[in-house]
Structure formats: structure tokens, C-alpha cells
Structure 1
């Protein structure tokens, strides 16, 4: 990390930073809280108060895609046209009044009762995946937790909500991974725009067919409820329905997958906290909040400066891009005591992982429930859980943070 710090430049392609960015975040908070990254050609902010304010300030725009897309003067402009058609309709990239209208419609669908009613089915799915995980152990007895559980559980939960066959997941996963390269700001994939276009084209066509079938034969599922949702006599447009299905699927499984993997790694790296959770299962709710804080699945969010203003002593000019480092803010020593320590009983724990205000994550209650059920059952079912040979690998993404592999021994 020495060379990176000496250069005073945040470079997410640095393997050390990808694996463990927190020492550099700590350095930035202390020395350069409003940092200009030469690599990203963007501002990077890391302090809790600056991050929180930036997520809700009108001086920052959530529409980070349109300025980037409109700046393209080469073949990427045409390649990304099909991606932008839908991503521009995602709730996370929209501002009032359209955000307010769509959020109101979706709030009538994704109710607390809907999520609470899924606890038993989530537990059944976890039980099924744990059985499969045992069956799929390698010759040395090891399993890849990411492949066997963390990827599948959130995906199956979302597919069941949408009444989409689980057997379609492997196909959908390819499209989602391709789309993630663009949305997650992959730094080392040269073909990410073409792959993102392919993912968007396939996924949108897939959901357009399903939406048409639900119009003809409504069912008791989220897609049918979104079709029927209405506020003041107005509902979602066809493209908004397609885009929202894509968002629910992508956001609903990618983020929770990373939450589960990061949480298990955090417990294995802190065996005292693993033993504490095994001895005190009633701590699971505060434990999930601590996993979200300690090494959360949302590494950063991106905004575009809408109005010239100052942050951390630096002038942010209209049109400049800002990476708001959520995971850095969640370890700010000015906000959290012992921020670099994992404490599953930490309270209060006002982390920023699910956002603030207008853009607070719609899927937060479901992600919390899935993590609570899965991790409770994991530490109870496998009391001797430990690392297996092999390396836990981190995904190539700047906006998201999660593992692609996590080799474990169960017994």
C-alpha cells in the first residue's frame, strides 16, 4: 500500500486496493477527504458527514449515466443506446418528480407485509441450498460458498417473487453479469460496453415477454402487481415495467449476494465474533447491520455535480463526477468508535449502506431478511465453519464490493 499512498492517487485497479481498500480510505479521510483521482478523473469523498450530505444534496445529481453517455463521440454511443433506454428508467438514476411518481407506485407493491411473508420460504430455500452444498463438496471436502449459496439464494428469492422459473437463472445470470460490468464500473474489462448491451437486450426482451403473458393471465406475483399498480389513475409505462423488472432482478440478487459473502468472510476473519454469534443467536439483527457497515456490498455511489459548490475545501464544478465512498464513510472514526473492528453487537449503528432520503434502497428490508435467515442457519448448522485452501477473490467493480469465490470447509 506504500506506493499507492505515496502517489496520493486512488486507483481501484490496484490489486491491493481491490482486496482491501480500507487503509487507503483511512488515509484519505485523514489527509485528503475531497480527493481528485487521476485514474478516475473524478472526485472521491470519504468522510461520513460529506458522504451523507452528498447522497441527499440537490447540488449533486443522481443521473450519472446521461452526461457520460452524451459525452461519447465514438461507437460506444451506439453500443450503449439499448442499455440507456432501460437504465435511465431505473429508480436509482431518476430524480423528482419522476422518481417520486415511480417510487409511490412501487411502494404499493413492495410492502412490509410482502417481505415479512417470505421468511418461511427463504428458510426453506436456505435449507435446500445447504443440503445441495453438502452434496456438491469437492474431493477434499471443500465448497465454494459464493457459488453454492450466496449467488443462488437471492436469485431464487427474486425469481420466486416474480414467478419466473428458477431453471432460467443460469441464462439470466449471464445477462446480469454482463450488465454488471457497466453498472459496477469494472476497471479491467475491455469489452464491457458490448457485453452490457448484450445483457440489456436479452434481459429486456425476456421480461417484455413475461409482462405480456401476465397481462393476458395475471397471477399472484410482483410483476402482476406492478402492472396493476396505479396512483391517481396512472401506472407504470411498458418500458418502466421492463426496466423495473431488470432493476429488481439485478439489484435484488447482486447486492445481497455480496452481503452474504462479505459477512461470512468477516466472521471467519474475526473468530471471536463468530463464536459470539453462535453463543448468542439473538444478536443476528445487530450482526447483519454490522456486516453492512464493516464491509458492505455498496462500495460507492456516483453523482454528478449539478451546481458549483465546495466539499472538504475543494471546489466541485458543475458536470464533474463524484465517487461517494459509502464503505469509507461507514468506518469514519469521527462517527464510529473502533471503526476498524467488527462488533456484532454494535449499537447505535447508523451506517449509510442503503442510502439516505429519496434514494433509500427499496430492497433493504428483503436484503436484511435474507441475510438474517441465511447467516443464522449457517452458523448453527455448521459450527466448525472455516476457510478451505484457495483464495477468496474480489469482483472487478468500483461501485459494488463482493466476492466471486469463497472456499470453505463445513465440518
Structure 2
């Protein structure tokens, strides 16, 4: 077992707001074993960036990990050529060209439909009425699982997310996760004979991937491709409304919607960590790691490292976010990054603020989670629609 210093953290405090506790850890004990999580946490940005690439030590393979046990062994839980082969098989569904030529119109249609429905209301919740819907519709298009409604897409995604973050071993959470994966398997089975062209289902079938891998990679796409855009769309809209000077900078052309999205994803990372398993003994920053140790690469607090980002706790749309870890680093950089950026920065945010220029917050907004973090709701008064 790693000889990292032991530091106790309260999981409830992490769920409510992980940043104060993790900032202290980063400043005082940047590599620490947290018994409540059963893992050694690495919290400094540059150390995470360097070590994530060392797959021979910090392996993504976790045969007994929650994601593998509950969702199957997807490409995110593989390394080297095995990972590369599946990534190449999936890439045609996610490529910037496919996103531009095939999915962007579907994104705009989904946004337009949601905005039309919202315009008939004086007040709405951007999580439920906009972000959740757009993310679900985008995933229906990209995965090819048209048999799932956008509401079902969000439900099965949340079930899996809760399951793979269930480090306390709650049996009810695990049961909901397994029910979610069973629903996805049924949707895959129903679509096999009519896989939409260039969908994730289609490109994996044409590449000849084994069915177990195909299923696991679709579940991976749903688990990450629903909550991250959902939380980023609603969260970034909230951040801009809560920081009107930053919104004014975007509207004045001093920063782009892309800048606003990238800064929000740095500031409040929708995906706060990535787990690894130690494959062989090694020493990092004076800390010994032993085979079998569980390690969490803490992206969220890494994105607030004061050695890399000036005033990291401040939301600043003009910041240089290139060092951000929001999409990961190294060979496991988010495969769906182009789709996410298109959906959020090219469609969801500009269309929302253009349609409702007088939109304002209508109540308090609470965020939750540390492995995955997002707003529970974002109530807004829409004002006059354009």
C-alpha cells in the first residue's frame, strides 16, 4: 500500500463543496491517502498532467473497479493498443467533421424546440427544461439509440453516474445502476438491425468490435455525454448570469462563448476526478505507490492550482484555459470533446442568450457532487423572447 500521508476528509463536505477541503490538501499534502474514499488523491495540476500519461504505472485497467463491474470494460478502462484500437473504431462518430456535417444540425433543432417550449413559460429551470433535454437529444443522435427518449437518456446516465461514484457501496444505488445498464442493452438490441449511419452503434458494428465492447462503449458515451454537457450548459449559464460583467464581455466580443464554456469547465469541473490503478511499484514526488493501489487524479482541484492559474477561484472568461484538465490529458483525452464543444459553445449557450436577452436568475442555485459536479437546478425568469 502507498506510503502517502493519511488525511481524513468528510465525504458529505466533498459532495456539498469539494473545493475548500481539496484546496487545503493541495497546499499541505498534495498526494494523500484518504481512507473515507479508499484511494490516494493527487491534487496538483502539473503532477496530474505528467502522471496521467504514465499508463505503465497509473493504469486505466481496473477489473474490479465500479465502472468495469457495473457497465462493462469500455475503452476508458483499457490502455495501449487495446485502448487505441477501440478509440479509432469509435472516432468516426465523434470526429470534428462528423460533428460539423451531421450532428450540429440535430443539436440546433433540439435547442430550437426546447427554446420554443420555454418561451411559453415565464419562468423555467435551465437544468430540467433546457440542458438535460439538449444533452439527451444529442446523445440519441450520436449513439443511434432512438428508442430512448431524452428523459430516459438522462435517467439511465444518472443511474450509471451514481453507480460508478458509489464508493460507500450503497446497494440501492448499485441496483439503480444495473437497471439503467439493462435498459441501455435493451435499446441497443432493438436498434441493431437499423443502426443510424455514422452513429456510435453503426461505426462500432462496421469496425467489427465485439458486442461486449460495443455495449460498454455506448454506456460510457451516455454516462459522460449526458451529465457533462448537461451540467456545463446549465452551470455556465448560471455563471454568466451570476457574473454580469463576464456576460457583458462575451456580448461585447471580448471573449467568445467557447471561452466562457472552457473557463466554466475549469472553474467548476463537471468531471472532478479520474480513477487509476497502480500497475507496478513507483515513486512520485517522494511518495511510494504499490501495485493494486487505487489512485484518484483530481482534475477539479488541479484546475484551481494557484501555481498554474492566477486567482483560480475567480470566474474569468478572458483567462487562458489551455492548461485546464477539464477534458483530461494524455491518451484518455475525452473522445467526445468536439461534440461537447459544438453542443455547448456553438449551440446551447449562444442560442439561449440570444433568444432570452433579458433572462435573469429567479432563485438560489446549489451545486452537488465531487467526482461529478453540477447544479441541481437553475431557476430563471426568461424576460422577453426574441
Normalising to structure 1: TM-score of the pair?
0.84
Q: Identify which of 355, 369, 378 aligns with 1:406.
A: 378
1:87 is aligned to 72
Q: Tell me, which stretches of 5 or more residues in structure 2 are unaligned?
A: 1-5
1:33 is aligned to 30
Shift of 1:68: 4.2
Shift of 1:149: 0.7
Q: Identify which of 196, 199, 202 aligns with 1:224.
A: 202
Contact 1:151 / 1:253 at 8 angstroms: preserved in 2?
Answer: yes
Q: Alpha-carbon deviations, 1:333-355, whole Å to 9, x = none?
A: 11112212111122253201111
Q: State the superposition RMSD in angstroms.
A: 2.4
Q: Alpha-carbon deviations, 1:109-168, whole Å to 9, x = none?
A: 432210112333322321211121232x3xxx4311100011110110121234443763
Q: Alpha-carbon deviations, 1:341-376, whole Å to 9, x = none?
A: 111122253201111121111100110111112111
Q: Which moved more, 1:94-103 or 1:19-28?
A: 19-28
Matches within 5 A, 1:278-293: 278-280=251-253, 283-293=256-266
Contact 2:365 / 2:377 at 8 angstroms: preserved in 1?
Answer: yes
Relative to 1, partners in 2 of residues 1:306 and 1:276: Cα closer, same or farther, differing over 3 Å?
Answer: same
Q: Alpha-carbon deviations, 1:45-90, whole Å to 9, x = none?
A: 11011111232112111123x2347xxxxxxxxxx9xx737421x1
1:377 is aligned to 351
Q: Identify which of 114, 128, 139 aligns with 2:98.
A: 114
1:232 is aligned to none
1:301 is aligned to 274
Contact 2:94 / 2:338 at 8 angstroms: preserved in 1?
Answer: no
SS of 1:191 mapped into structure 2 = helix
CA distance in 2, matches of 1:156, 1:126: 9
SS of 1:56 mapped into structure 2 = coil
Shift of 1:303: 0.9
1:100 is aligned to 84
SS of 2:357 mapped into structure 1 = coil
Relative to 1, partners in 2 of residues 1:347 and 1:171: Cα closer, same or farther, differing over 3 Å?
Answer: closer
SS of 2:280 mapped into structure 1 = coil
SS of 2:80 mapped into structure 1 = coil
Contact 1:262 / 1:296 at 8 angstroms: preserved in 2?
Answer: no
1:61 is aligned to 59
CA distance in 1, matches of 2:64, 2:211: 25
Matches within 5 A, 1:161-310: 161-165=142-146, 168-185=149-166, 190-211=171-192, 213-214=193-194, 219-222=196-199, 223-229=201-207, 235-280=208-253, 283-310=256-283
Contact 1:62 / 1:94 at 8 angstroms: preserved in 2?
Answer: yes
Q: Identify which of 23, 48, 51 aligns with 2:48.
A: 51
CA distance in 2, matches of 1:346, 1:240: 39
Contact 1:86 / 1:239 at 8 angstroms: preserved in 2?
Answer: no
Shift of 1:186: 6.4
Shift of 1:241: 2.0
Normalising to structure 2: TM-score of the pair?
0.89
Shift of 1:219: 4.2
2:301 is aligned to 328
Relative to 1, partners in 2 of residues 1:187 and 1:133: Cα closer, same or farther, differing over 3 Å?
Answer: farther
CA distance in 2, matches of 1:110, 1:8: 40
2:3 is aligned to none
Q: Tell me, which stretches of 5 or more residues in structure 1 are unaligned?
A: 1-6, 70-79, 230-234
2:360 is aligned to 386
The alignment status of 1:150 with 2:131, answered yes or no, reads: yes
SS of 2:217 mapped into structure 1 = helix
CA distance in 1, matches of 2:153, 2:12: 27
CA distance in 2, matches of 1:85, 1:339: 35
1:77 is aligned to none
SS of 2:256 mapped into structure 1 = helix
